[in-house]
A and B are shown apart, each in its own frame.
Chain A
Amino acid sequence: MLRTSFHFPGGVKPDSNKEASARDPIAFAPLPERLALPLKQSAGVAPSPVVRVGERVKKGQVIAAAEQWISASLHAPTSGRIADIGNYPLAHPSGLPAPAIIIETDGLEEWQERPPPDWQRLAPQEVQQYLQQSGVVGLGGAVFPSHVKLDAEARMEELIINGAECEPYVTCDDRLMRERAAEIVSGIALLRDLTGAGQTLIAIENNKPEAIRAMRGAISEHRENFTVVTLPTRYPAGSLRQLIYALTGKRAPFNVLPTAMGVQCFNVATVYSIWRALAHGEPVARRVVTVSGNVRAPRNWDVPLGMSMEALLQLSGPLSDTNGLIVGGPMMGTFLPLTNAPITKGSNCLIARSPRLFPPRPPESPCIRCTACAQACPQGLQPFELYWWSRARDFDKAARYALSECIECGCCAYVCPASIPLVHYFRYAKGELAAAAREQKMADDAKSRFEFRQFRAEREKTEKAEKLAKAAAAQAAKRAAEESAASGEPENMASQEERH
């Protein structure tokens, strides 16, 4: 069954640079002596540690448990001893440390008993809970806990499996589809049953013919009716909203969840980990990471979470002029110095930088309103207007030009001849708008608190005044009564009643 795709606006076609790292099969990284597992590895709330320093843990054992719904548990990627629980640096440009669990590995790879659930018999809620406890989150980069996405009661019209992998350099999904297609297809079948989707579409960019062939092969072997849709290679084809549109023609605004439009979307690596969790009882404690760029042997590595980026980079042999890393793809990833920050569930790719591969951006020059950015924007925005107003610090005006719809894909800054770091301005403006909104809310809250206090004080004052007046009146009455030589009891009763 052939299916054509809808054409989303804009987009760019940077050199894919995928061939080098896609050539060789996924290799297993040797076990490091020490793993650092930051608690927060997913969107939502970080799980809480359930181990003590000095305790011995087994492979696959829960070391931090999810306590809130939008949260996922964390597991020991191998057996060893908890060396420390404390603040350690993260793969974040700020370099600020964050809470992490440090494991000294013992090399025994001793598994925790973890029988796979009889998932066919589980109620949907139980499946969700099991996935949460298995630490399954979106491995495409957004790291949103997967069980939350299966929450929808409504039946989905389309289930979309994202194997587009549109970022240059990144090939981990490509290799995964080539090598583990059967398990991915089993996982898709499971998700199809869970979501009740009428139609299952697997999106792969046409620069991955082998992955397409592998997936089609596995589908026919499993006698499933999934459709592999070949997308023209154009960044950001794998971005959620662009992908949904390309496959279904449905357009989702930023504040509408795809599920509200009857679409559910999972990344292929996530589907794989869902399958491993339900069919093999295996929690998410490893992931496939592409190591590419300025290295001798670019390839994909199957890596235990917590391995240091520096150590992983060394496995592929960085060249001598390597001057840093890009974590994630070059279009949306983070620019870091060489770091021993750990691999987490969200790290899909490490790119070794060099001045030759990633020359520094020339200094910004004035915008000439050439509208190259607008023609490249997949969200149909006018980036130069957003830039103009962000720069003028008129953030409300920027908001009116739909700043919130910007997905920070970087297409605009990629094409800008004036070398303006547009996305940087947009992040800044969004931050300012969010801060303004927070301040507004705080001010509103303070105002209503103040008004309530005022109201209460007023009320107390009037009550007091009334009381005083009554007391005075009572006194006067009493005095009058005494003066008339009678006892004061009845009046007292009257004032008592008033108080209620």
Chain B
Amino acid sequence: MMLSSPHLREANSVPRIMRLVCVALLPGIAVYTALIGPAVLTQIFLASVAALFFEAAMLKMRALPVRRFLGDHSALVTAWLIALTFPPLSPWWLTVTGVFFAIVVAKHLYGGLGQNPFNPAMVAFAVCIIAFPALMSQWPAQGLTLPFEQQLEIVFGFSPRIDALTAATPLDAIKTALKTNALRVDNIQELLRSQNLYGTFAGRGWEWVTMTYLCGGAFLLLMGVITWHAPFAFVTSMAAAAAICWLIDPSRFSDPLFHLFSGGSMLGAFFIATDPVSGCSTPRGRLIFGCGAGLLAYLIRVFGVFPDGIAFAVLIMNICAPLIDHYTQPTVFGLRARESDT
């Protein structure tokens, strides 16, 4: 028996990393559920079952050890991210379609874990918002509290999709205001407040969800699962872009804080821009990746046609990632001598 050194290993594994990511999402999920209702948990359950099913089927088709690879929990992370980025009262088949595109197309048809150039959850979001723009924009109105049975009925299609689902999110409200240009209020904050959408520092209620995502991200940083580069750059560039627009015209653009805690910003910064497989792998590359994603997300959500820009921003940066990596290779330890000596 010949075995190669080293003969020791740190107690770390891919399943452990994926489990930590799930754990980091738990506080966010709890607050989100408190805000919206058990439909959130229903979506997570639905997405998880679908993801495990598709994953197992694809592994079987690719003649890979199903049990071992299913146990790496990577499909679960994708499923949870889909459940958290899709509207919570989406019909069940929308979620399943999203999971299908994520696991079957974006992941396995591109070669499986570790090979996918695009973030599977973001592919799911992008495909669905293009194919079903209306459904993907139906966020429950702020403060809408439906009983669990009714939420279930909506998700599983037994009851008509009610009007309350089509309420504008704060991000939508600003965009409409920007487009119509017919505002007669002093600034956008006033508008949001007047529509009772504004909470302490961002969308009412939602601000606390994004806040807990931020805490989850901090946990991942502490555990060494992610590095600070991409989230830091993401947050900074989005805040900077928002600040510039806001300083130019505060009556039409909302403040940076609002942007950081609205929509998928924190989820994007800490859980999506940090995806190791489809993101950048060098420290400087991750800074560029995060910067680009934050900036694009801001531009798309403010000037584009979609309610939020995270998915497209991340996918665009995914395309650039190999190139960024290529040009940001760190200097090899010994080789720096030649430069510093001259």
Contact = CB atoms under 8 A, between A and B. Distances in A.
A129 to B, nearest CB: 33
B6 A330 contact: yes
B13 A405 contact: no
B9 interface: yes
Interface stretch (A203-211, A275-283, A420-428): A420-428
A380 B332 contact: yes
A331 interface: yes
A335 B333 contact: no
Contacts of B340: 251
Q: How large is the interface on A (under 10, 10 to 19, 20 to 34, 35 or more residues)?
A: 35 or more
Interface string B3-25: 11111111011101100000000
Contact of A363 (B4, B5, B68, B329): B68
Contacts of B153: none
A337 B334 contact: no
Nearest to B13: A417
A331 B335 contact: no
A332 B6 contact: yes
Nearest to B115: A366
A382 interface: yes
A337 B69 CA distance: 32
A293 to B, nearest CB: 10
B6 A369 contact: no
Contacts of B3: 335, 361, 421
B8 A415 contact: no
B124 to A, nearest CB: 19
B5 A369 contact: no
A380 B330 contact: yes
Given A9-B333, A366-B113, A417 B14 contact: yes
Interface string A404-442: 010010110111111101011001000000000000000
A261 B5 CA distance: 30
B227 A241 contact: no
Interface string A311-333: 00000000000001010001111
A405 B333 contact: yes
A41 to B, nearest CB: 21
Interface string B45-80: 000000000000000000000001100101000000
A490 interface: no
B68 to A, nearest CB: 7
B5 A371 contact: no
A400 B1 CA distance: 32
A416 B225 CA distance: 12
Interface stretch (B85-93, B177-185, B274-282): B274-282
A253 B338 contact: yes
B335 A335 contact: no
Contact of B336 (A251, A331, A353, A417): A251
B250 interface: no
Nearest to A245: B333
Contacts of B281: 369, 371, 374, 382, 384-385
Contacts of B7: 326, 330-331, 333, 335, 353, 358
B27 interface: no
A216 B161 CA distance: 81
B114 A382 contact: no
Contacts of B114: 366-369, 418
A85 interface: no
Nearest to A353: B7
A368 B8 contact: no
Given A14-B8, A379-B333, A414-B8, A368 B282 contact: no
Given A353-B7, A424-B4, 8 more contacts: A331-B8, A358-B7, A372-B12, A405-B333, A414-B9, A416-B9, A417-B13, A427-B4
11 contacts: A14-B10, A241-B334, A251-B340, A253-B335, A331-B6, A365-B14, A372-B12, A379-B332, A381-B332, A381-B333, A415-B10
* A-B pairs, 8 with minimum CB distance: A410-B6, A424-B4, A253-B334, A366-B114, A251-B337, A380-B333, A335-B3, A331-B6
Interface of B: 1-10, 12-14, 16-17, 68-69, 72, 74, 112-115, 224-225, 227, 276-277, 281-282, 329-338, 340
